[in-house]
Structure formats: structure tokens, C-alpha cells
Chains A and B, each alone.
Chain A
Amino acid sequence: MNATLTIIRMEGRRLLRGRWLLPLWLLFGVLCACAAWNGAAWVEGRQATLALILEDERATHAMRRTQLAEQVTPDNRSRYGGALYATAMSLRATLPPGALALLTVGQAEGYPMAATIFPFVASNTIFDRHTAGMENPAVLAAGRFDLAFVVVWLLPLLVLAGSFDLFAFERERGMAPWLLSQPVAPGRLLAAKTAARALLLALPLATILVASLAFASEAGPAALLQAGGLVLLYALFWLVLALLVNLVARNAAQAALGCLAAWLALVVLLPALALGVADLAAPPVSQAERANALRAMAMQARAELRTAVAPDRVPAPNIPDSLRRRALEVERGERLIGEALQPYRAQQAQRLAWLDGLRVVSPAIALQDALERLAGSDAGRALRFQHQAHGFLLEVRQLARRHLDQDRLLTVADYDRGLPRFVLSEAPPVLRLGALLFDAAVIVLGMAVLLLAAGRRLRRHATFTE
């Protein structure tokens, strides 16, 4: 044990004397600060947009309340249908960013952040206004420079830069046989050298990230610890990978090449390949085809009900009969849309299951997934929002239906009490924790595989004299 500590101490001293450790920490700190600043700016923009959406809803309600209070008379009532009829309620459902949203943009730009809800709007169109963003596609194509990018893409390069010559340096200089002739087992020697790098390389980098997050966000200690723990695991994975490469490479240049090739394979090529596999096994839903199918259903509903038009009642009720006919059309259309959507929903669910499952392919994907879940910008949360927004539409539709049945107009008191509001219900913490643990397990499993390979290599080539 003493020998191990001595090696760790010596290796640590050597690393600190190398004069590259401090610049490396600084570089990572600068990258994290830039990414956190950029992420915070993105969150701010997102919140401003959500505020604009909610302000639109508030202004509409305020205008309609004023119309009811000051302008509507029994003679001009028909001109204020928007304010009087529950069927014209204009509501919004929004998906607020998570507490750690600055960590990664994740899937936030690939899913709608809000829904515009009118009781009679077709349920498949409530996200339309919030689906197509105006973001410059060149920026999207370049990729968002957020903390997840710094961690998933750049942190491995820094860890590898600091450990690519973990043992290759000694082999290149011919010091390996001398070192291995000392009364320390090779495994212990390498473990101690790796531990020194874990303490001086992996741990400080994870700490820097946590510090950046703590400074730039309002996340609680639990979320910060989870983020820090995941990043530390990921850094350790790359350290162990450098160890394995060092057991194979004969000199530092070979080790550098090996480390870079591994980085390319795990961060660039394997995810691309996995995406290709997902595209083949579960191709994405053709949204254009789906839109046409649903529009055809809407046409069918209209055609079916056109044949059964009942004359308007005399005297006319408070709410015109045309809106009751529209309610029937919407109801019929909704049933048809629901049926038409089923195969597309199944296809989408299958694709997401593949995309989710394929995160086991590389720790880089698993970490990206975990960071997105921590940030609240994951696909699961976006889909949960969509599901709840759809449920909210159905609730609002029921309310409008009651108003139609009772022939009841909206009043100033209704507006003062407040029209229905959407509140997102987050997933239970245990579900999120389970997903995070799965991601962590993927990284740990990857590390275990590398350690096994390293152990095997060590047993076969204990002398490193070839």
C-alpha cells in the first residue's frame, strides 16, 4: 500500500512539474465558462420567447374581458363571439426550461416548446405555430457550443492529451524493464499511475464543471452532484482507455494515434453508425405523409357531416347552432385523426426505443443522454409535455362542450376567475434517477470492459520488452 502511495505521490509530482496541467485546467475552465455563458444566453432567449407566448394569451384574455365589460350590448353581441363563446377560448401550454437547462440544448430545438390551444382546433395542429423555429440553420448545423459539447467532445481530448503517454513514455525511453524489475507488481504500478491522473486530471475537470454550473445556474446540490458524478465517471472511462492504449502502443506517437483513433471511433463514428442503424431499423416518421393523411381525415369528417345538416333553431340560442355543428365535426374529426395517427405513433415510439436503446453503443451517447435528462431538454420530457398538452386540449374541449350544452356565455366573472391554465407535471424523480443510473451503468460497463482488456494484456505482456 505504501508503495502504491509513493508511486501516486511521485507521479503526481511529475505531472505537476510538467507545466501543462495548470494550462489544461485553465483551458477547460475557459471552455466551461464560454459554454455556460452561451447556455445561459440560450435559456434567457427561450424564457423570453415563452414569456412572449404567455403574454399573448394574457393580452387576448384582457382584451376580451374589456370587450365584455365595456363594449358588448344585446344588439352587437354577434360581433364579440371571441369573447363570449367558450368555443373560442385562446389558451397556451408551455414547456419551461429545466433548472439545469444551460447544461445542454439537447433536443429542445427538435420538439415544440409550446402549444396554442383553441377548443375546436384539430389536436394534431396545436404545436404547428411553435414547431418551425427561426434559428439560423447555419448555427444549428454548426452545433450549439454548450457544456454538454465541452464535456462529451472536448473533455476526452483533454484527458487523453494528459494521459496518452501514461506508460508509453517509459517504454519509448527504455525505462519499462527497469521499472518493472522493481518490487512492485506491474498492475499496481499502472494502477497507481492511473490513480494519480484520476486525482489530478479527472477530478479537477469534474470539479471545474460543477463549479461552472453552480455559478451559472440555480440548480440544487443534488443535481450538481449528479452532473459532477457523471462527468467524473466519463473522465475516468477515458483515462482507463488511455491506460489500455498504453499497454498496446510501443511509443508515445503510437499511443497518441491510438487514443485519437479511439476518440474518433467512440465520439464520432460509432454514434453516426448507430444513427444509421436506427434509420434502417426504425426509420423516422414521414411528417409530410402524416400531415396529408390527417388532412384527408379532416376532409372526410367534413364531408360526412355535411350530409346531415340540421336547420338552425328559431329563436336562436345564445351560442349559434353553427358552433354545435362544428363541435360535432371536431369530435368526428378527432376520432378519425386518432385512428389515422395510430400507425405513426407506433412508428415514432419504435424509433425512439431504438434511439434510446442504442445509447449503450458508446459512453459518449450515454453521457449526452444523461446530461439532456439532467437539463430537462431530453426527448422524454418533450413528449411528456406533448401528451399533457393534448390532454389539456381535451379538458378545454369538454368545458366548451358544457357551455354549448347549457347555452352559457362567458362572463366577466369567468375572465376574472381565470380561464383554464396548463401546468406541466414533471416525471416522478425515481424515473429520472433510474434513467440516469442506466446511463451511468453504460459508462461503468464500458470502463469494466476496458479494464478487463487491460488486465488480459498485462498478464500476457508483463515485461513490455517487445
Chain B
Amino acid sequence: MTAAVPTPLRLIVRQQWMSLARERRLRLLGLVVLALSALALFDAALDTRRLETARIHDTVAEEAVWEAQGAANPHGAAHFGRYVYKPAAPLAVLDPGVTAHLGSTLKLEGHVQNASRFRATDGGAALSRLKGFSPAFALQVLVPLTIVFAAFGVFSGERARQLAWQEIGAGATPWQLMLGRFAACAAALLLLLALVGMLAALATIPAWSAAHFAALGLMLAAHGLYWTAFLGVTLAISAWSASSRAALFGALAFWIVTAVLAPMLAPMLAEARHPTPSAEAFEAAVTDEVMKGPDGHSPRDVRFAEFEKATLAHYSARHIDELPINYAGLLFEHGEKATADIYNRHVERLYDGYAAQARLALAGSALSPLLALRPLSSSLARTDMEAHRHFLAQAERYRYETVQALNRDIKLNRKPQMREYASDVAAITRGIAFAPQPLALGELLPRTIVPFAALAAWVGGALLLMRLAARRLEGAA
């Protein structure tokens, strides 16, 4: 009976794996990163639960305030407005995306489409500027740093070089050495990824479904590609460098540029290329357009002459007092539609600008894989701008329906002789419910193709660099 002889590649993988496992410093570093990720996940899960409880409480309280109006002028009630609250995305536990910088509350009122308000970042102090710690930060910034420290010395330094020469002398090719060490380190990363995946799944038990696991799996796969690319580049730098210090500097510089500077500079440059209007400039542009049209509050506005004529003709009446409906209510309805159309156009333009910025920032993924990972991960977690826009669109439909129901009540029930008109506004709007639905996985998958391709290209590029570095190693040997 003969024992199976392991191939050189398998031997190298095993040797590198043991070397990694024996390194006390790396074990400690890995454990610290895992502990920090777990802590951040736990904290994020608690936070999500707290926010969801608060959302339910606020929804009930808001409903009570709306009901407390009793009999009120319906148009006045439309101005008083309602508040709606954005549900937390379960996978925000893993990647909060831009959640902290978007308000989770939206005020809905007549004539206006407000931006969401009450951002988690509002009302802070200097400490807040140094940001909170999230699992995404651990996975996207700290893990690559750990990779740098774990892999910079794999080929650099006298001891590592001597070992490599011995292995080459024993018959292994430099490419096999490179692939073997790569596979061993990648296996360690895979283990970390699996642990993070398990923790994330445990932190999101209430959301368990096939679609949830598919999104989580894709997020983890994206992180796996990102880490692999980082590992490949670090190994190439290690093999390329003359000394371990040069390898450390090279890999650290790569980390600083790709994980710290580029992700910060790319959105900034994209904004400089496609400037976002200030809230005041946006409102001024909308108001300017609205003011060009007739004033919906004033039936005496001469610009309503044509509308008045058409209405009288429609109802075969000679004077607005003879109409079977309330003319002011009809004007409210008409005005609301006009302002909603104007707002929709401007909001569309605003979000087109955001999308153009996002495309430009994504183009920066040629320089940094993190610029591909971030939008990919946050879109799968439904914590990106598209997910927010999806929520805003549903809220706008609800706002429009509510306001027009109130206006319709005036149109149908207010009699010309009534000096003051009041109606049970809660009863009018009772049938209109707001139940926002998150983006379905199928809707967001097309947006993940380009970032996934960019990450795959990075892995391919890293393998190419490794191949070139292996050749250099061969030449040196």
C-alpha cells in the first residue's frame, strides 16, 4: 500500500497555513478583527431593534396627533401635514451604507415635497466627526489592513526569502509558491468570511428568507472578492520588494490610497463635477416655477380665467357660485397636481445628479476596489440612495393621495355660504394607508453587475501582478 504523495502546491498551501496559524501576532490580530466585527454587529443589531421599536412607537403617536385634530379645515390639515417613518433595512446591521446621513423621517404636507429629516448625524460634537464604528468599516477597511500585516512578509525579508529559495531548490516553481501562499491566506480569509456571515445571519433572524440569504450571500461574496484582490496585490508587492520594510511601506501605501483616500476623494470629485444644489437653491428653483403658475389659494388669481371658463362649461354653469362643487376645493386639487408635477420634475433632476455622481465614483473603482464594493454592498443591504429613493417615491404617492383626499372633501362638501369649513380629517384619510415595501432583490440585481465585474477585474489584475512578481522571483532565484 502506498501513501498518496501530496503535490507541491498542496504542500506549499499546508506549509503556509501552518505558518499563519503558528504566528502568534497574526492570530491575535485576526481575533481582534473578528471580535471588533462581532461587537460592531451586536451593537448594530441592538441599534436596529431600538430604531424599529421607536418607529412603531412614533407611528402610533403620529396617528394619535392626526386624530386629535378632530374637526378641522381639511386644507389646513394638509398644511399641518403627516409624518412617515422609514423602516430599517435588516442588512443595515452589516452595512449601514448612507443610512446615518439620511433622515429616517419624512414630513408630508400640501404643496411641498420635503426631504427626509432627523439624520442620525445631526446635533453632534467633535467626537461625532470621528465617526462610529460599523461592521462595514471593519470588513472594508480593517480587514484589508490585517491582510497587509499578515502578507507583507510572506516573500520579503531574509527568512522568507531563504525559505522560498529552499522550496524552489526542492522543485517548486515560484508560481506554485505564489499560488500556494495565496490559497492558504485566502482560506484563512474564507474562514473569517464564514464566521462574519454566521454572525450577520444570527443578527437578522426576524428577516430570514431565501431572498435575505441570497442578498447576504452576495454581499459576502463581494467582500470575498475584495479581500482576495487585496491579498493578491499585497503578495505581489511582497515578492517584488527587496526588503520587508519596502514591502510593508508599499502595501501600506496601497491600503492608504485604496481604502482611505480614494473612497473619500472620489465622491468629493464626483460632486465637484456634478454639483448638488443646496436645499435653499432647490426650493428657490421650485418656488420660482410654482410662482409662475397661478396661486392655488386664490380663486381671484386672473391666471385661473381659462380654468374657470372650462369648469363653468363642464358643469354648464354661468357663475362659480352655481357650480355643484366648491370651486376653491377644485382649485386646491388643480394646484396640488401642478406643484406635484413641478416637484417631481425637480426631484427627478436632483436624483439624476446623484446618480451621475455615483457613476463617476464607480469609475474610480479602476483605482480602488473599495469604490466598487461600497455601492455594491450598500445596494444589496438596501441602504443606498436608490433604496431611499424607492421609499421616497412610495411616500410621495401616499402624500399626494392624502392631500388630494382632503382637497376633494372641500370640493364636494363645502357650501358657498359656509364662512368656516371644518370636517373630520382623520375620517377622510382613514382609508389611505402607508405600508412601504423594500426594493425586491430582482430589482436591485442589475445595478450590482458592474461593481461585481469591477471586483472580478481587480482579482484578475491581482493574479496577473502575482504572476509577474513570481517571474521576478524566478529571475532573482
Q: Which residues of A contact B (CB under 8 A)?
A: 38, 41, 45, 48-49, 52-53, 56, 79, 104, 106-107, 109-111, 114, 128-145, 148-149, 152-153, 157, 161, 252-253, 256-257, 260, 264, 267-269, 271-276, 278, 284-289, 291-293, 295-296, 299-300, 303, 348, 351-352, 355-356, 358-359, 364-365, 368-369, 372, 378-379
| Supplied contacts A141-B267, A268-B133, 6 more A-B pairs, CB within 8 Å | A109-B121, A149-B264, A253-B244, A351-B123, A355-B124, A358-B127
**Total number of residue pairs linking A and B with CB closer than 8 Å:** 220
Interface residues of B in 349-363 (CB under 8 A from A): 350, 354, 357-358, 361
Task: Say how far B77's CB is from chain A's closest CB, in angstroms.
Answer: 11
* Given A137-B385, A296-B64, A299-B65, CB of A253 within 8 Å of CB of B118: no
Asked if B69 contacts A299 (CB within 8 A), the reply is: yes
Asked if A132 contacts B268 (CB within 8 A), the reply is: no
Q: Is B218 among interface residues, defined by CB-CB distance under 8 A?
A: no
Closest Cβ neighbor of A269 among chain B residues: B133
Asked if B122 contacts A131 (CB within 8 A), the reply is: yes
Chain B residues positioned under 8 Å from A365 (CB to CB): 126-127, 130
* Given A132-B279, A138-B357, CB of A359 within 8 Å of CB of B248: no
Asked if B58 contacts A135 (CB within 8 A), the reply is: no
Chain B residues positioned under 8 Å from A256 (CB to CB): 245, 248
> Interface residues of B, CB < 8 Å — how many?
83
Q: Is B281 among interface residues, defined by CB-CB distance under 8 A?
A: yes
Instruction: Report which of A48, A135, A278, A292 forms a contact with B65, defined as CB distance below 8 A.
Output: A292
Asked if A140 contacts B280 (CB within 8 A), the reply is: no
Could you give, for residues 145-157 of chain B, a 1 whenever the CB lies within 8 Å of some chain A CB and a 0 otherwise? Answer: 1000100010001
* Given A137-B102, A141-B100, CB of A379 within 8 Å of CB of B276: no
* Given A52-B280, A369-B125, CB of A271 within 8 Å of CB of B268: no
What are 16 A-B contacts with C-beta separation under 8 Å?
A45-B278, A49-B281, A52-B284, A107-B129, A129-B283, A138-B354, A260-B252, A272-B133, A289-B54, A289-B57, A303-B70, A351-B123, A358-B127, A359-B127, A368-B126, A368-B130
| Distance in angstroms between the alpha carbons of A79 and B303 in the assembled complex | 16
* Given A41-B272, A134-B350, A142-B263, CB of A106 within 8 Å of CB of B126: yes
Chain B residues positioned under 8 Å from A260 (CB to CB): 145, 252
Asked if A136 contacts B271 (CB within 8 A), the reply is: yes
Task: Say how far A341's CB is from chain B's closest CB, in angstroms.
Answer: 14
Chain A residues positioned under 8 Å from B249 (CB to CB): 161
Instruction: Report which of A128, A292, A299 forms a contact with B83, defined as CB distance below 8 A.
Output: A292
Closest Cβ neighbor of A139 among chain B residues: B267
Task: Say how far A107's CB is from chain B's closest CB, in angstroms.
Answer: 6
Q: Nearest 6 A-B pairs (CB), nearest first? A: A272-B133, A271-B130, A369-B126, A355-B125, A137-B98, A137-B101
Closest Cβ neighbor of A286 among chain B residues: B54
Most chain B CB within a 10 A radius of its CB, from A41, A133, A140, A273: A133
| Distance in angstroms between the alpha carbons of A366 and B249 in the assembled complex | 29
Q: Is B105 among interface residues, defined by CB-CB distance under 8 A?
A: yes
Asked if B58 contacts A143 (CB within 8 A), the reply is: no
Asked if B101 contacts A272 (CB within 8 A), the reply is: no
Q: Is B277 among interface residues, defined by CB-CB distance under 8 A?
A: yes
Chain B residues positioned under 8 Å from A291 (CB to CB): 83, 105, 118
Chain B residues positioned under 8 Å from A356 (CB to CB): 125
Q: Is B117 among interface residues, defined by CB-CB distance under 8 A?
A: yes
Most chain B CB within a 10 A radius of its CB, from A139, A153, A278: A139
Task: Say how far A287's CB is from chain B's closest CB, in angstroms.
Answer: 4
Task: Say how far B388's CB is from chain A's closest CB, in angstroms.
Answer: 8
Task: Say how far B281's CB is from chain A's closest CB, in angstroms.
Answer: 6
Chain A residues positioned under 8 Å from B125 (CB to CB): 107, 352, 355-356, 369, 378-379
Asked if B129 contacts A141 (CB within 8 A), the reply is: no
Q: Is B413 among interface residues, defined by CB-CB distance under 8 A?
A: no
Asked if A284 contacts B123 (CB within 8 A), the reply is: yes
* Given A139-B267, A271-B130, CB of A107 within 8 Å of CB of B124: yes
Q: Is B316 among interface residues, defined by CB-CB distance under 8 A?
A: no
Asked if A134 contacts B123 (CB within 8 A), the reply is: no
| Distance in angstroms between the alpha carbons of A56 and B279 in the assembled complex | 14
| Distance in angstroms between the alpha carbons of A111 and B284 in the assembled complex | 21
Task: Say how far A233's CB is from chain B's closest CB, in angstroms.
Answer: 16
Asked if B128 contacts A110 (CB within 8 A), the reply is: yes
Task: Say how far A374's CB is from chain B's closest CB, in angstroms.
Answer: 11
Asked if B68 contacts A296 (CB within 8 A), the reply is: yes
Q: Is B167 among interface residues, defined by CB-CB distance under 8 A?
A: no
Could you give, for residues 124-141 of chain B, a 1 whenever the CB lies within 8 Å of some chain A CB and a 0 otherwise? Answer: 111111111100000000
Closest Cβ neighbor of A278 among chain B residues: B127
Asked if B122 contacts A288 (CB within 8 A), the reply is: no
Asked if A139 contacts B271 (CB within 8 A), the reply is: yes
Q: Is B308 among interface residues, defined by CB-CB distance under 8 A?
A: no
Asked if A355 contacts B271 (CB within 8 A), the reply is: no
| Distance in angstroms between the alpha carbons of A136 and B101 in the assembled complex | 9
Most chain A CB within a 10 A radius of its CB, from B116, B125, B157, B252: B125
| Distance in angstroms between the alpha carbons of A70 and B370 in the assembled complex | 62
| Distance in angstroms between the alpha carbons of A272 and B263 in the assembled complex | 20
| Distance in angstroms between the alpha carbons of A272 and B62 in the assembled complex | 33
Could you give, for residues 253-281 of chain B, a 1 whenever the CB lies within 8 Å of some chain A CB and a 0 otherwise? Answer: 00010001001111110111000111111
Q: Is B114 among interface residues, defined by CB-CB distance under 8 A?
A: yes
Asked if B122 contacts A145 (CB within 8 A), the reply is: no
Interface residues of B in 427-452 (CB under 8 A from A): none
Closest Cβ neighbor of A31 among chain B residues: B261
Asked if B58 contacts A289 (CB within 8 A), the reply is: yes
Q: Is B230 among interface residues, defined by CB-CB distance under 8 A?
A: no
Task: Say how far A248's CB is from chain B's closest CB, in angstroms.
Answer: 14
Task: Say how far B391's CB is from chain A's closest CB, in angstroms.
Answer: 13
Q: Is B31 among interface residues, defined by CB-CB distance under 8 A?
A: no
